[in-house]
Amino acid sequence: MKWQKILKENVKYLPSISELIACLLAPLLIFIYSQYAYGSDITTFTTDIYLINYFVIACMMYSLIALSNNIKFSIISTAVFFVGFSIINYYVTIYRGTPVLPWDIIAIKTALNVAGGYSFTLTFEIAVAVILTLVMSVLLVILLPKRKFISKTSIFVRTASLIVAVYLFSLFNTSWEIESYGVKTDTWAHKDAYRKYGIPSEFILNLKFLNIDVPENYSTELKDDIINNFESSYQTYDVDKTPNIIVIMNESWTDYEEFGNIELSEPVMENIKNLDNSIFGHAYSSVWGGGTSQSEFEFLTGNSMAFLPPNSVPYQQYLKGDTNSYVWYLKSLGFDTLAYHSYLASGWNREKAYDYLGFDDFISMEDMVTPLEYGHQDFCYDRVDFAELIYRYENRDMSKPFFLFNVTMQNHGGYDDFIMDDVSVIGSDHAYPKAEFYLSLVNQTDEAFMELVDYFKQVDEPVIILMYGDHQPYVEDEFIYKAMGIEDPSDKTQLIERYRVPFVFWANYDLPDITIKDSSLNFLMQDLLSLAGIETNKYGEFIYTLNQTIPSLSFNGYFDNDGQFYTHEDSAGLYDDLIDQYRILAYANLFDESYQENSITSQRG
């Protein structure tokens, strides 16, 4: 019969017993090796966790077999990929605080830019995982049949492998099916989720965040109704002449002293906190340990990362053309706008993003006139960064008011690669070398900012300066818990303090004697415009008004006027309607093309 003839002709292509055993056993071993490399306790995994991760790995492996018709090559390639990916995740987690997520792939260039600032120490677990992977690969080469690569179609091997791959993919092609195996996401602690549930299944599960859901009942009419019918509480303070505006987003700038739980050899923010004619306060960032561009995005647009996938990168994922921002709004008022970053221009897609946000020009480390001086690695000192800022101010277009947005680099992570302990934690016996190095850097920021203030005290034109931190640094957890008084790291009402950063407003004209409540980065621009005596747009009025009811709203949750913190999941519905209105306007501001066309009122050139 015909099928018997086909079977006889293709019998040499059938897998041997050893190949079948290898195919069945390999995904389990690969999962064990890869999770061990990441630092997981593999004895704590449930059967379901093993099973779903086995499926993910097997799906890739059988797909490779179907494509290559080479079992040995496919198993070894799958092992190298997953073990290698786990090792990458380990180091990314060590230096950023969160592992690799699906949207990080597009940020690889930024990661490579700053990779030189970190040291990579080989751990026992990684060494064991690499050795076991090599041993497995050698055994596969020795024990499996020595087949040449077969170009002729192998009906049975390829078809069977493809069927298995498709079947396995069907088991977890939607998030709820993965979650039915007990796998969950934890946007507060991705690193713990990767250890607890397995990197393969967690990574797949996070793919669901790549899609941006349209807010429920969203329509242009609903958006217009919200923006046109709220009662605005926006107010400005009297300023004789429109001031020049300078904003400094200071890398990893954090106030560990405010909690009163640590004693330092010298205060590191004393000058700024005691600065005359200033307003000092704190705000909550949506990111921790990294994610600088997300903090830029929130400040420059007024949108909140609360309405976007966790750890997503708007500059790279969502900005595809001219995008609503306060930069465009200031341009419409006649401002000359400049973005300035004292590091490589390529990071976070800034070259395109700043153009889309409305900046007239962008200068980076490559364009700086001031002679560069580096601290650790290739990170420019703040005093040098500020000297370049002064140069750009002096050489601005004098016929227009000036808006400069500066992102610094001095305090960037990589604190274990250079030893400096000008500032030490008293009583710790140098148990926190990363933190002491970081605090020594912050002390230099304090001095550099005072030099900047001293310069602008002498200029005749009115100038207002805002400096704020983008996120906290990734230093020793033990130091952070001690400094902030965090007794239970699983308690989100305590853990939210890891997202707290300082800000300071200063001007060379009289500022009002006011206190700004603990805020969030997406609200700060409205305070800045108000203090500068500048009317804002309708979206800004809405945000300013919202801020009077909800002082702080970030990715992790929000605070009410009584200082009570709520996660977005456990909000008790107190302000759901108000937050939903914000969500709708933020969606329109970022994604509604017709709204953007009508809102961006500035011309290029």
Q: Look at 109-113, 212-216, 282-286 and tell me which has the smallest mean pLDDT.
A: 109-113
Mean pLDDT, the chain, as a whole number? Answer: 85
Residue 95 has pLDDT above 50, yes or no: yes
pLDDT for position 155: 54
Residue 9 has pLDDT above 70, yes or no: no
Residue 102 has pLDDT above 50, yes or no: yes
Is residue 594 within 8 A of residue 582, CB to CB? The reply is no
Q: What is the tally of helices (H) and strands (E) in the chain?
A: 24, 11
Selected residue with higher pLDDT from 216 and 189: 216
Q: Residue 358 — left, alpha, or beta (φ > 0 → left; ψ -120 to 50 → alpha)? A: left
Q: Look at 11-25, 192-206, 314-328, 364-378 and tell me which has the smallest mean pLDDT.
A: 11-25
Q: Quick one: three-class SS letters along 374-389?
A: ECCCCCECHHHHHHHH
Which residue carries 């073990």 as its tokens?
83
| Rounded Cα gap, residues 404 and 337, in angstroms | 6
| Rounded Cα gap, residues 513 and 77, in angstroms | 65
C-alpha distances in Å from residue 307, one per residue of 289, 290, 519: 20, 19, 17
- In this structure, what token pair is assigned to residue 549? 């009811």
Residue 420 has pLDDT above 80, yes or no: no
Strand 361-363 and strand 336-341: the pairing is parallel
| Rounded Cα gap, residues 242 and 253, in angstroms | 29
- The order of strands in the sheet holding 552-554 is 552-554, 557-559, 565-566
Q: Residue 419 — left, alpha, or beta (φ > 0 → left; ψ -120 to 50 → alpha)? A: beta
| Rounded Cα gap, residues 186 and 570, in angstroms | 14
| Rounded Cα gap, residues 497 and 559, in angstroms | 12
Percentage of residues of the chain with pLDDT beyond 70: 83
Mean pLDDT of 181-185: 70
Q: Look at 8-17, 18-27, 73-82, 424-433 and tell me which has the smallest mean pLDDT.
A: 8-17
| Rounded Cα gap, residues 479 and 473, in angstroms | 11
The count of other CB atoms within 10 Å of the CB of residue 212 is 15
Residue 7 has pLDDT above 50, yes or no: no
State which H helix or E strand residue 93 sits in.
helix 71-96
Selected residue with higher pLDDT from 595 and 406: 406
DSSP state, residue 207: G
Is residue 411 within 8 A of residue 254, CB to CB? The reply is no
User: pLDDT digits over 382-410, tens only?
Assistant: 999 999 999 999 999 999 999 999 999 99
Is residue 391 within 8 A of residue 370, CB to CB? The reply is yes
User: pLDDT digits over 284-299, tens only?
Assistant: 999 988 889 999 999 9
Note the helical H segments in 457-575: 477-484, 492-495, 524-531, 538-549
Residue 557 β-bridge partners:
554
Residue 532 has pLDDT above 50, yes or no: yes
pLDDT for position 130: 94
Pseudo-torsion of CA 382, 386, 388, 391, nearest 10°?
A: -170
User: pLDDT digits over 448-467, tens only?
Assistant: 999 999 999 999 999 999 99
| Rounded Cα gap, residues 470 and 288, in angstroms | 9
Residue 306 has pLDDT above 70, yes or no: yes
pLDDT band at 592 (very low <50, low <70, confident <90, very high): confident
- In this structure, what token pair is assigned to residue 107? 């940020």
Candidates 115, 554, 114, 507; CA nearest to 341 is 114
- The order of strands in the sheet holding 278-284 is 361-363, 336-341, 402-407, 244-250, 463-469, 500-507, 278-284, 519-520
Q: What are phi and psi of 400, to 5 degrees?
A: -130, 155
Percentage of residues of the chain with pLDDT beyond 90: 54
Q: Look at 28-42, 195-209, 287-301 and tell me which has the smallest mean pLDDT.
A: 195-209
| Rounded Cα gap, residues 106 and 88, in angstroms | 15
Name every residue whose Cβ is closer than 8 Å to that of residue 420 and which is 6 or more positions away in sequence.
Answer: 376, 436, 437, 440, 441
Mean pLDDT of 471-485: 93
Residue 159 has pLDDT above 50, yes or no: yes
User: Whole-prediction pTM value?
Assistant: 0.76
The count of other CB atoms within 10 Å of the CB of residue 347 is 22
pLDDT for position 4: 53
Q: If DSSP codes are grouped into helix, strand and coil, which group holds residue 520?
A: strand
Best mean pLDDT range from 147-156, 162-171, 245-254, 430-439: 245-254
Mean pLDDT of 83-104: 79
User: pLDDT digits over 336-347, tens only?
Assistant: 999 999 998 877
Q: Look at 83-97, 389-403, 458-472, 511-525 and tell me which has the smallest mean pLDDT.
A: 83-97
Is residue 505 within 8 A of residue 466, CB to CB? The reply is yes
Mean pLDDT of 473-499: 90
Which residue carries 């969500």 as its tokens?
583
| Rounded Cα gap, residues 305 and 501, in angstroms | 16
Mean pLDDT of 205-214: 73
Is residue 261 within 8 A of residue 483, CB to CB? The reply is yes
Residue 259 has pLDDT above 80, yes or no: yes
| Rounded Cα gap, residues 563 and 79, in angstroms | 50
Selected residue with higher pLDDT from 409 and 212: 409
Residue 416 has pLDDT above 80, yes or no: no
Which residue carries 């995994």 as its tokens?
45
Mean pLDDT of 308-323: 84
pLDDT for position 602: 36
| Rounded Cα gap, residues 411 and 252, in angstroms | 6
| Rounded Cα gap, residues 53 and 30, in angstroms | 10
